[in-house]
A and B are shown apart, each in its own frame.
Chain A
Amino acid sequence: MGSRASTLLREEEIEEIKKETGFSHSQITRLYSRFTSLDKGENGTLREDQVNFRGFMRTLAHFRPVEDNEKNKNPPTTEPLNSRTNKLLFAFRLYDLDRDDKISRDELLQVLRMMVGVNISDEQLGSIADRTIQEADQNGDNCISFQEFMKVLEKVDVEQKMSIRFLH
């Protein structure tokens, strides 16, 4: 598995991915083998959604634990993918299905319905959604923008709750 993976993935690519995402070499190779095992069709992408390996890594990079020693060594030019803001942005985009940079009530309802199962009726869900929007909404447009989303989660320990441990 290891040898197959490394032949398909060139060193330069690994370096690029490393720079972009911050994963280590061994992590990248391991994730590549995972990617290939998911990619049954062997066309270098996952499913019809056309996620190639770079995209895969970029997505996963959001979940790396936040490292603040990066700041000391060399301040990155662009914000690293796993910063708090980017993590929240990722979550925000999961809610915001139509990509209009706002979470509308409907989108929220869809997500809630997926999370909750059948025990709650639609009305109840609706009222939860209402209250959620009203708690967060500050400019009165009945949608949650990304700024409002960040503000409402400012006390939540996102660095811990949106990170997983990737084995070295």
Chain B
Amino acid sequence: HSEFGAPGVASARSAAEEAAGPGEAEEDGAEHHHHHGGGFRVVQWEWNYVQTPYIIAIWLLVASVAKILFHFSQRFTTVVPESCMLILLGLVLGGIVLIANKKQLYQLDPALFFLFLLPTIVGDAGYFMPARLFFDNLGAILTYAVVGTLWNAFCTGFCLYAAKLLGIIGHHVQADLMDFLLFGALISAVDPVAVLAVFEEVHVNETLFIIVFGESLLNDAVTVVLYKVYISFVEVGGANVLTADYFKGVASFLIVSIGGTLVGLVFAVILGFVTRFTKKVRIIEPLFVFLLVYLAYLTAELFSLSAILSMTFCGIGANKYVEANISQKSRTTIKYTMKNLASIAETIIFIFLGISAVDKSKWAWDTGLVSCTLVFIFVFRAMGVVGQTWVLNRFRLVPLDKIDQVVMSYGGLRGAVAFALVVLLDGEQVKAKDYFVATTIVVVFFTVMFQGLTIKPLVKWLKVPRATNRKPTINEEIHERAFDHILTAVEDIAGLQGYHHWRDKWEQFDRNYLSKLLLRKSVYRKSELWEAYQKINIRDAISVIDQVGPSKKSIYLSIYISKKNFHLTLFATVLLVCSRRENGSGVCLDLQVIDNVPGSKVVEDMETHHVLAGNLYKPRKRSHYSRHFMPLGEKERQDREVFQRNMRIRMETYKSSRHKRHKKERTAPSSPPTEDSHLPWKGGVGLPPPCVSVEATKIIPVDLQQAWNQSISSLESVSSPPASTEPVHPRVSALSRLGGPRPASYTAPSTTVSSTTSIGAPAPQSSFCFPEKKKKKMQEEEEEEEEPGASQEMQPLMLPVRPPGLLPPPSPPLPPPGPGRRRNPCVYLRSLVAAPPPASGDLHSRRPTQL
């Protein structure tokens, strides 16, 4: 910091700037030769040209480097929240600039704040808001946001006025009732930026978090209205306020809040609709999301409605449809860009807060005012929370206990929004503006720093239930859905039109109208439960792949290379690699990969997952809202154990299930139940058919079937993992039971496998050629032909099995599943291979499934 002296140069921060300055000044000097008339200057100082973006970039750089430096000290970062450190940094920087220039050059500009910095943070928060949790607690959130803020605002305003009358506040503070009410309004709102910054580090349980955070977002409407109303009252003069104006104020509140919400929802619908058609322009999908969410904010600002409400509801509303419509890469891009931008905005805000504090010319100190304000906001917040909680608990299912209330009152942080609002005041109208500014700065600093520092120990001391970072399990998904259904039914029986009743109605409306409008056709038909199941599977697969270690890279490579014949090559290579690693997991991984092999979309997913799993994010985290990473732990090991156990058990109960007729029936969803009753795998445990999106039409199930068989036998020969030998046994014995020619055809490929040690295994090496798309139709027809034969054979076996649609007789109608089911694939394959009709004979030769 050695170069502050240059008076004409507006920046005075780092030597690096000076050094960089001349370096970049090689603009076309030809254009700017007015500096020194005459000679041609080779290199010029083009500061004015690049000034603005340069300064912005330097700011961001300083902030980011500061963040890196903070995290060097581990102990420091766990105690002190980042927001505190950023404010301190801002103070330091502000001090430097002040000393250098004798005046403050940089300050938090309200326009910059409201137009650029705040939307990024709110947009990020709204888009990733857990909608279910939000709506479950909406009553509490609205109560605190509206009633709580009003209570705080009025009480603080009146009490400050009373304090002034009593003389506690000095006489130089020229403010009367209206001014104090105005100040009360802007200081009483809980701030979303501060809440996020602090609560993110604390990790309280999700209910508590969503209530405080939701309150901080929704109270924007109240703040905006109060602020505007009181500003106009102040302008008019306290004595001239008519009662009609009060009513206008109330009406204005309704309009602002409801209008803001509606604007947000309109944009949410537009956004969902637009993303329905972005299949061909995948690369700009994130752009639509950012633009429309930002436009929601700006449009609300345009009509002076509540912009934060608008953006929040736009995010919440659109999230479901957008996430379903867009590609995985776009999802990742959106997530990372939003978090990135929000993090930057937050950093800038806190630094500016620090800097602005140092500018003495902008504020004036009055001890009475400051201390009174601090006391009042704290006291009234606590009283408000207690009172409202008492009322709410009479209606809530899970009451908020005392500890929750303490955390809620303590977590009512004020932040940059209040500061921006106070700076926005007109000094002419509000004479005491400078005093208010000083008070606001102190309040904000106090809440963010002091309360931010102490909230972690407080939470620990009070033993507040913390957020459980649990890995999503399919059990939870299923049972939670079941509970929803049960509760809806019970409400119906009891004649209540409660929460679940309306939720159910909403779900029906959504299913019948909204989703049809906003979701892609291909997505619309998928079931949420299946999608959730797939996600869980993918997570497990990746977690195992992760642990395989250095072979990760080779897997990634092989996936990449073999995208064309991805199915088999994918699992073959993964198989080979993993089977060499660990006996158990080799087999496990294979099965899992088959489960997930379906479409190019999923492979794309897996690629992305691999890259990201290695570098950026761990998919198994269910982060309701976190920008920080968390270390891996015991959970991963346990996941893997569960996973391996799953796979082992599944191997033991392996059965057929590669009939893909239902794929065609995707277009006629009504047919499956009736037609499927012929199929033999009814009631048996089946490997799922790969999930298919209509876009990916490359699955040829029967091949996978054979390939699966071969992989099993290859496994035996290659590494004979102990875990897999016994599960494979029934299959092998079943094979041998059915006759001679079979084993031969299966051992042949296995030798090929053992000789194939290289991992790439692209098309030329293995003679495996996965049937191309054009052959699919033919094969499906052939499949059709074979099916009746197979199903006839198997029908007698399967007759006792009822299609799942039937309810009682409750006794499990299954015949002893083992031998019957295991025979089926063999029988089916035999019909394919051993005694084929001429067509399928050709089929077989055309599809050599050697590895």
Whether A164 and B688, one on each chain, are in contact in the complex, defined by CB atoms closer than 8 angstroms, is no
Contact A121 B676 (CB under 8 A): yes
B686-745 contacts to A, CB under 8 A, are 686-689, 691
CB distance from B29 to the nearest CB of A (A): 67
A158 to B808, CA, bound (A): 28
Residues of A within 8 A of B537 (CB): 131
Q: B657 to A128, Cβ gap below 8 A? A: no
Instruction: Assess whether B670 is in contact with A135, with CB atoms less than 8 Å apart.
Output: no
Residues from chain A with a CB closer than 8 A to the CB of B811 are: 98
Question: Which of A11-19, A72-80, A107-115 lies on the face that meets chain B?
Answer: A107-115
Question: How long is the Cα–Cα vector from A104 to B527 in the complex, in angstroms?
Answer: 23
B498:A127 contact, CB within 8 angstroms: no
Partner of B473, one of A37, A105, A123, A135: A135
Residues in B483-536 with C-beta less than 8 Å from chain A: 483-487, 490-491, 493-496, 498-500, 525-527, 529-530, 533, 536
| Residues in B neighbouring A91, C-beta threshold 8 A | 479, 482-483, 486
Let me know if A155 is at the binding interface, CB within 8 A.
yes
CB–CB A153/B397 < 8 A: no
* Cβ-defined partner of B691 (8 Å) among A37, A97, A124: A124
The CA of A104 and the CA of B810, in the complex, are separated in Å by 11
A89-120 vs B, Cβ < 8 Å mask (1 yes, 0 no): 00100110111000011110111110111111
Question: Are A119 and B478 in contact, CB atoms less than 8 angstroms apart?
Answer: no
Which candidate, B222-230, B629-637, B642-650, is the interface stretch facing chain A?
B642-650
With A63-B487, A164-B496 already in contact, the answer to whether A104 and B812 are too (CB < 8 A) is yes
Q: Does B820 contact A (CB under 8 A)?
A: no
CB nearest neighbor in A for B655:
A126
The stretch of B12-20, B31-39, B142-150, B677-685 in contact with A is B677-685
> Are A110 and B495 within 8 A (Cβ)?
no
Number of interchain pairs (Cβ within 8 Å): 178
A124 to B529, CA, bound (A): 10
- Report yes or no: A130 in contact with B645, Cβ–Cβ below 8 A: no
- B645: chain A residues at CB < 8 Å are 134
Chain B positions within 8 Å of A157 at CB level: 398
Hey, which chain B residues are within 8 Å of A161, CB to CB? 480, 483-484, 487
Shortest Cβ distance from B484 into A: residue = A161
CA separation between A107 and B397, bound complex, in Å?
30
Evaluate contact between B476 and A156: CB separation under 8 angstroms.
Answer: yes
The reply to whether the CB of A34 lies closer than 8 angstroms to some CB of chain B is: yes
Q: How far is the CA of A60 from the CA of B395 in the complex (A)?
A: 18
Smallest CB-CB separation from A96: which chain B residue?
B810
Task: Judge whether B53 is part of the interface by a CB distance below 8 angstroms.
Answer: no
Minimum CB–CB distance from A81 to chain B (whole Å) comes to 13
Contact of A123 among B483, B681, B807 (CB under 8 A): B681
> A116, B527: Cβ atoms under 8 Å?
yes
- Cβ of B774 under 8 Å from chain A: no
The interface residues of chain B lying within 8 Å CB-to-CB of A165 are 395, 397, 496, 498-499
Proximity string of chain A (125-152) to chain B, C-beta cutoff 8 Å, 1 when within and 0 when not: 1111111101110001010000000001
The answer to whether B669 touches A119, judged by C-beta atoms less than 8 angstroms apart, is yes
**Interface residue range, chain B:** 35 or more
Residue from the list B484, B494, B669 in contact with A60, Cβ < 8 A? B494
Tell me which residues across on chain B come within 8 A of A26, comparing CB atoms.
Answer: none
Q: Which residues of chain A come closer than 8 Å to B689, judged between CB atoms?
A: 121, 123-124
Partner of B672, one of A34, A94, A106, A121: A121
Whether A132 contacts B496 in the complex (CB less than 8 A), given A98-B810, A106-B683, A115-B482, comes out as: no
Once A127-B686, A162-B483, A162-B487 are accepted as A-B contacts, the answer to whether A117 and B475 lie under 8 Å apart by CB is no
Query: In the bound complex, what is the Cα–Cα distance between A140 and B645 (angstroms)?
Result: 10
Q: How distant is A50 from chain B, measured CB to nearest CB, in Å? A: 16
Residue of A95, A97, A125, A153 touching B808 (CB-CB under 8 A): A97
Nearest CB of B to A88, in Å: 9
Chain B residues positioned under 8 Å from A129 (CB to CB): 685
Contact between A128 and B478 (Cβ–Cβ < 8 Å)? yes
CB distance from A49 to the nearest CB of B (A): 12
Task: Give every chain A residue within 8 A of B564 (Cβ-Cβ).
Answer: none
Query: Would you call A126 and B685 a contact (CB within 8 A)?
Result: yes
* Contact across chains for A121 and B398 when beta carbons are under 8 A apart: no
Which A residues are in CB contact (< 8 Å) with B804? 106, 109-110, 113, 122, 125
A9 contacts chain B at the CB level, 8 A cutoff: no
- How many A residues face the partner with a CB closer than 8 A? 61
Q: Tell me the minimal C-beta distance from B477 to chain A in angstroms.
A: 9
A105-B474 contact, Cβ under 8 Å, with A98-B811, A110-B807, A128-B530: no
Contact between chains at A115 and B485 (CB < 8 Å): yes
Instruction: Kindly state the separation between the CA atoms of A129 and B688 in the bound complex, as whole angstroms.
Output: 11
Contacts of A158 in B (CB 8 A): 483
A164 to B395, CA, bound (A): 10
B673 with A120: CB separation less than 8 A: no
The CA-CA distance from A105 to B804 in the complex, in Å, is 11
Interface pair B483/A127, CB less than 8 Å apart: no
Is there an interface contact between B398 and A116, defined as CB atoms closer than 8 Å? no
Contact with A along B803-839 (1 / 0, CB 8 A): 1111110111110000000000000000000000000
Residue contact B398 to A160, C-beta cutoff 8 Å: yes
Are A126 and B812 neighbours in the complex by a CB distance under 8 Å? no
Whether A130 and B499, one on each chain, are in contact in the complex, defined by CB atoms closer than 8 angstroms, is: no
Contact A166 B529 (CB under 8 A): no
Given known A123-B686, A128-B478, contact A155–B470 (CB-CB < 8 A): yes
With a cutoff of 8 Å between Cβ atoms, the chain B residues found around residue A110 in the complex are: 804, 806-807
Q: A166 to B8, alpha carbons, bound, how many Å?
A: 73
Nearest residue, chain B, Cβ from A38: B493
Q: Which residues does chain A contribute within 8 Å of B670, judged by CB atoms?
A: 118
- Output the nearest chain B residue to A165 by Cβ-Cβ distance: B498
Q: Which residues of B lie under 8 Å from residue A105 when comparing CB positions?
A: 685
Q: Report whether A120 and B646 are in contact in the complex, using a CB–CB cutoff of 8 Å.
A: no
Q: Can you spell out 29 A-B residue pairs with CB atoms less than 8 angstroms apart?
A: A31-B494, A60-B494, A94-B486, A95-B482, A97-B807, A99-B810, A110-B806, A110-B807, A120-B530, A121-B662, A122-B672, A122-B676, A122-B682, A122-B804, A123-B662, A124-B530, A124-B688, A126-B657, A126-B681, A126-B688, A131-B537, A134-B649, A134-B650, A135-B642, A140-B649, A156-B479, A161-B484, A165-B395, A165-B496
List the 5 closest pairs (A to B, CB-CB), nearest first. A127-B688, A98-B810, A34-B495, A134-B646, A123-B686
Interface on B for A, CB 8 Å cutoff?
A: 136, 395, 397-398, 468, 470, 473-476, 478-487, 490-491, 493-496, 498-500, 525-527, 529-530, 533, 536-537, 595, 642, 645-646, 649-650, 657, 662, 669-670, 672-673, 676, 681-689, 691, 803-808, 810-814
* Other A-B pairs, 17, CB within 8 Å; known A123-B688, A165-B499: A34-B494, A91-B486, A104-B812, A116-B529, A119-B669, A122-B672, A124-B688, A126-B685, A127-B533, A132-B475, A134-B645, A134-B646, A135-B474, A135-B642, A135-B646, A155-B476, A165-B496
